[in-house]
Copies of this chain bind each other. A is one copy, B any other.
Amino acid sequence: MRTCPQEHIKRATDSNFISTLVKDICKTYEDGRGVNHIDGHNLPRETEILSIVNDLLDVVFPGYGGKETYSLNTIKFSIGEIIARVNIELYDQISRSFRYNCAMSNCDDCNTPEMAEKTVRRFLSALPEIRESMKMDVQAAFEGDPAAKNMDEIVLSYPGLKAITIQRLAHVLYHENVPLIPRMMSEYAHRLTGIDIHPGAHLGRAIFIDHGTGVVIGETAVIGDNVKIYQGVTLGALSFPKDACGKIIKGAKRHPTIEDNVTIYAGATILGDIVIGKGSIIGGNVWLTETVAQGSKITANPPDLTISQRSQTKGV
């Protein structure tokens, strides 16, 4: 015998099922774990951070986001408006981050407003240099990819460029010791592109990451100028130093250093605090855990193949 949906909805909402359930859920908040409140000192907000990142992308590549039409004569008004907004919004988010840190370390004499103000200024002051840097990245992509028809195509549609731009922004905040926000930015880039570059990694100039899905570049990696990286490359840690209690020690240099003019082809894995010397070429699927002299060309002997002939009747 069928019952009517309306009755069910009524029963569902009338019942004390929800009250009891809400009580049960709230009990799980009582230990304060996984709950963002911290006595009113709220964490930075993801939506605000992403909106700031998108504003900054418009400053670095004006007009490409499709929001506004620019002319070189009037561009200063659009940029001024964006910078004025980012200045206030980023100040708010960075203040939250510093207050959060302050609360977490039970410190109460941080002058977080002053810290936030100085940090925002230093961050914004880095924008002209980041823009110059991005021009070189665009040029590197154009020269490195035979499928690139022109530089605008790269700005409009290359995920590697987007990941690198956001990382360069996040990296400045990382060096300013801003908690939480740099990683939120780089995870936004990861979500958009499949390229996971930790904000701590140091990137040189004219970097080109092609396709990029699955690329992982760790916190203490250092990358020189004119480096090309293809999809699926890992610049990772080989092992994590542990303390006497077996807990991982945070922060030690544990990722590779890639010198200038190196190319790393798809799927290569380079692990540990080693050096890939200038001008080296690392082939696809190479697995490296030791330092490599400059000018080396290293290719992995591909796995041996077993080749057989299938019955001609099946699916041929």
Contacts and interface: CB of A to CB of B under 8 A. Distances in A.
Contacts of A33: 135, 138, 151
B87 A64 contact: no
A218 B21 contact: no
B26 A75 contact: yes
Contact of A80 (B22, B104, B135, B184): B22
A34 B138 contact: yes
Interface in A258-316: 261, 266-267, 269, 271, 278-281, 284-287, 293-312, 314-316
B303 A298 contact: no
B29 A75 contact: yes
A3 B114 CA distance: 7
Contact of A213 (B1, B196, B248, B308): B196
A311 B231 CA distance: 26
* Chain A interface size range: 35 or more
Copies in the complex: 3
Contacts of A26: 75-76, 79
Which of A13, A30, A144, A231 has the largest number of chain B CB atoms within 10 A? A231
Given A61-B34, A63-B35, A146-B254, A261 B315 contact: yes
A167 interface: no
A309 B292 CA distance: 11
A208 interface: no
A184 B84 CA distance: 30
Interface string A110-121: 010110110011
B155 A315 contact: no
Contacts of A168: none
Contacts of A159: 187, 190-191
A211 interface: yes
Given A266-B269, A295-B310, A250 B35 contact: no
Contacts of A17: 121, 124
